[in-house]
A and B are shown apart, each in its own frame.
Chain A
Amino acid sequence: MTQLASRVRPDRFRGRGGAPRARYERGEILTAAAFLLPALVVLGVFVIYPIISAGYISLTSWNGFSPVKEFIGLDNYARLAQDPEFWNSLLVTCIYAAGVCLLSVASGLVVALLLDAPLRGRGFYRGVYFLPAVTSSVAAAIVWRYMLDPSGFVNTVLEGVGIQGPDWLQDRWLALGALTLLTVWKNVGFNAILYLTALQALPEGVFEAAQIDGASFAQRVRYMTVPLLKPMTFFVIVQALITSFQSFDLVYVLTGGGPQGGTEVLGMIMYREAFRLSDFGYGTAIAFVTLFLVLGVTLVNWRASGSGRSSLR
């Protein structure tokens, strides 16, 4: 009976038996250990250990095969600083990320505002806009590649109205633009649902009051909705940043990084250096640059969005 009671309210037995951590119950700790062990082993071996290991590999000239990992200090990072391909990649990635962030916020917000009303077929629209998000990057990029092909849909339509369309994926800026649009297209439904959730949590009374006081729809959006949605905008931007700094699949299939490195995002050169050229040390150093970029830009954004008083948790 006592045992049962201690199971029900372990708090009452605090300090019993002189154990330094009597707050915990032995049976409970054992159960917890058994419950946690499988997941922690997998995550520990394949996520946590690799993070630590990557920190060291980036300081070596390891080729991925040899048993010796020669320590070379910060040489890989020094090499990055003098690598024109890396600087091109960094520039491409930053332009791409900026475009994706801007258009993700705009498209997500507009679709959410349109859907945030009692409207016939709301569920249908929501489903349609979400469709690209469940499609694989490979499939999406293959279809876009064909649509942008000189014989594809886009140029056929342009021809129909008498315009000779360019070869989109052979021009570095047009290709980067297409990649940006493809990324935004793929995530528009996701961002719209995030904004929709935030919109539906806003107090309705304030908006009605403003409407009665004669504020137009545009004014209400500009002076009420947008400021109130700031925490969600912060979150959408962080997601867009992570997506674009980690972009690989879409680029690999759409352009392969071309033309002339015009869409060679950091993920592409990381992949090439590590897995094509067997320079694991250098590849890992590039991976760390993406980590610093994500963390750095998130921090700046967090400061800028009003000390991050976000409702993320």
Chain B
Amino acid sequence: MKRSTATALGRHAVLIVGAAFVVMPFLWMFTTSLQSRAETYSNGSILPTSWHWENYAVAWEAAPFGQYYLNSLIMAAGIVGGHLVLDAFAAYAFARLRFPLKNAIFVVLLAALMIPTFVTIIPAYSLVASFGWIDTYWGLIVPRLADVFGIILLRQYFASIPSELEDAARIDGCSRVGIFFRIMVPLALPAFATLGIFSFLFAWNDFLWPLLVTNSDELRTIQIGLSAFQGRYGTSWNYLMAGTLTATVPSIIVFMFFQRALIRGIAASGLKD
């Protein structure tokens, strides 16, 4: 009994030291965001020593963070919506319907998942440029409306739903489309939640593609705006940290609310964006 208590204490000690290392940058970001400019060059305290909340207003005035936020939200909504609808349709076809070349198509998609994004990004960029989609929401959203990861995730889940339910519905005269909407979708809501969170985090945090297809402040997403803000105000650490924190908050909130669905998704699929 005594020994196991000691072991548990040991575990806690190591975990807390590790957690401190992990959390330190977040604390430092928060503390700095509330300091005056002079303090950022002299103060080593990890806990807030002053409370200059106006830094946030200054940062948001200095760059159109509101517009960046809006652009990121629009892009994320488009991508999440696209994944939930397009991936789900395709996943259902792969999980339940029988059609020629089914396995061949699926293998091609799996293989595409292994290809580094660097390979596809140059031709995809010139394609989007030739459509005249540079600096438009189309360019930000349409090329990412569907993804292979979501198809695999939902297909696995659909396949685990007992087919007796569908058989019963079919005997009752329900069409395939009806079965999809009335049986599969309601039963697969947890999987939809998982995919939705992955897709949101992917979209909100995405950098390289929005960097390539946007030029103007009107279309820049939050990550691109933040990176540009750093270029301009690189040494005004307090404002920079205030901007960085506001850009990070949505991901953290989503994570806190949907932690379970996210972790379940990783455990189930062992995949990431």
Distance between A251 CB and nearest chain B CB, rounded to angstroms? 11
Distance between B86 CB and nearest chain A CB, rounded to angstroms? 4
- CB pair A129–B22 under 8 Å, yes or no, is yes
Q: Which of B23, B227, B256 has its CB near the most chain A CB atoms (within 10 A)?
A: B227
Q: Which of A48, A123, A136 has its CB near the most chain B CB atoms (within 10 A)?
A: A136
Of A76-84, A96-104, A280-288, the one contacting chain B is A280-288
Could you tell me which residues of chain B, from 135 to 152, have a CB within 8 Å of some CB in chain A?
A: 142-148, 151
Q: Which residues from A are CB-within-8-Å of B19?
A: 125, 128-129
Could you tell me which residues of chain A, from 258 to 298, have a CB within 8 Å of some CB in chain B?
A: 266-267, 270-271, 274-275, 280, 283-284, 286-288, 290-291, 294-295
Q: Which residue of A lies closest to B25 (CB)?
A: A143
Distance between A298 CB and nearest chain B CB, rounded to angstroms? 8
Q: Which residues of A contact B (CB under 8 A)?
A: 4, 7-8, 10, 21, 23-25, 27-29, 31-33, 35-36, 38-40, 42-43, 45-51, 53-54, 57, 64, 111, 114-115, 117, 119-121, 123, 125-132, 134-140, 142-144, 146-147, 149, 151, 153, 156-157, 159-160, 185, 188-190, 193-194, 196-197, 235, 239, 242, 245-246, 248-249, 252-253, 266-267, 270-271, 274-275, 280, 283-284, 286-288, 290-291, 294-295, 312
- CB pair A48–B86 under 8 Å, yes or no, is no
Q: Which residues from B are CB-within-8-Å of A33?
A: 99
Distance between B204 CB and nearest chain A CB, rounded to angstroms? 7
- CB pair B272–A280 under 8 Å, yes or no, is no
Given contacts A128-B19, A275-B212, contact A50 B14 (CB under 8 A): no
- CB pair A280–B122 under 8 Å, yes or no, is yes
Could you tell me which residues of chain B, from 192 to 232, have a CB within 8 Å of some CB in chain A?
A: 201, 204-205, 207-208, 212, 223, 226-227, 230
0/1 string, B113-127, CB within 8 A of A gives 1? 011111111111111
Could you tell me which residues of chain B, from 25 to 62, have a CB within 8 Å of some CB in chain A?
A: 25-26, 28-29, 32, 40-44, 46
- CB pair A134–B201 under 8 Å, yes or no, is yes
B11 near A: Cβ within 8 Å?
A: yes
Distance between A112 CB and nearest chain B CB, rounded to angstroms? 11
Of A24, A143, A287, which one neighbours B119 at CB under 8 angstroms? Answer: A287
B105 near A: Cβ within 8 Å?
A: yes
- Residue contacts A-B, CB under 8 angstroms, 24 given: A24-B99, A32-B97, A32-B98, A33-B99, A38-B145, A42-B143, A42-B146, A47-B124, A47-B148, A50-B119, A50-B127, A111-B18, A121-B12, A129-B19, A130-B262, A131-B23, A134-B201, A135-B248, A136-B207, A142-B241, A185-B22, A194-B270, A235-B270, A280-B126
B24 near A: Cβ within 8 Å?
A: yes
Distance between A141 CB and nearest chain B CB, rounded to angstroms? 9
Q: Which residue of B lies closest to A121 (CB)?
A: B12
Distance between A250 CB and nearest chain B CB, rounded to angstroms? 9
Could you tell me which residues of chain B, from 157 to 181, have a CB within 8 Å of some CB in chain A?
A: 167, 170-171, 173, 176-177, 180
Distance between A128 CB and nearest chain B CB, rounded to angstroms? 5
Give 10 nearest A-B pairs by CB, closest first: A156-B44, A50-B123, A136-B205, A39-B90, A287-B118, A46-B143, A39-B146, A32-B99, A53-B123, A50-B120
Given contacts A7-B170, A35-B97, A54-B122, contact A132 B22 (CB under 8 A): yes
- CB pair A119–B255 under 8 Å, yes or no, is no
B112 near A: Cβ within 8 Å?
A: yes
- CB pair B98–A138 under 8 Å, yes or no, is no
B103 near A: Cβ within 8 Å?
A: no
Whole-angstrom CA separation of A33 from B126 in the bound complex: 29
Given contacts A35-B97, A157-B44, A197-B270, contact A125 B15 (CB under 8 A): yes
Distance between A131 CB and nearest chain B CB, rounded to angstroms? 7
Distance between A2 CB and nearest chain B CB, rounded to angstroms? 14
Whole-angstrom CA separation of A54 from B237 in the bound complex: 41
Q: Which residues from A are CB-within-8-Å of B177?
A: 31
Q: Which of A39, A245, A267, A287 has its CB near the most chain B CB atoms (within 10 A)?
A: A39
0/1 string, B58-89, CB within 8 A of A gives 1? 00000000000000000000000010011101
Q: Which of A49, A146, A239 has its CB near the most chain B CB atoms (within 10 A)?
A: A146
Q: Which residues from B are CB-within-8-Å of A115?
A: 15
Given contacts A114-B11, A242-B116, contact A139 B240 (CB under 8 A): no
B186 near A: Cβ within 8 Å?
A: no
Q: Which residues from B are CB-within-8-Å of A283?
A: 122
Given contacts A135-B251, A137-B205, contact A49 B26 (CB under 8 A): no
Q: Which residue of A lies closest to B266 (CB)?
A: A193
Q: Which residue of B lies closest to A298 (CB)?
A: B114
Whole-angstrom CA separation of A42 from B204 in the bound complex: 20
Q: Which residues from B are CB-within-8-Å of A42?
A: 82, 86, 142-143, 145-146
Of B99, B115, B267, which one neighbours A28 at CB under 8 angstroms? Answer: B99
- CB pair A134–B255 under 8 Å, yes or no, is yes
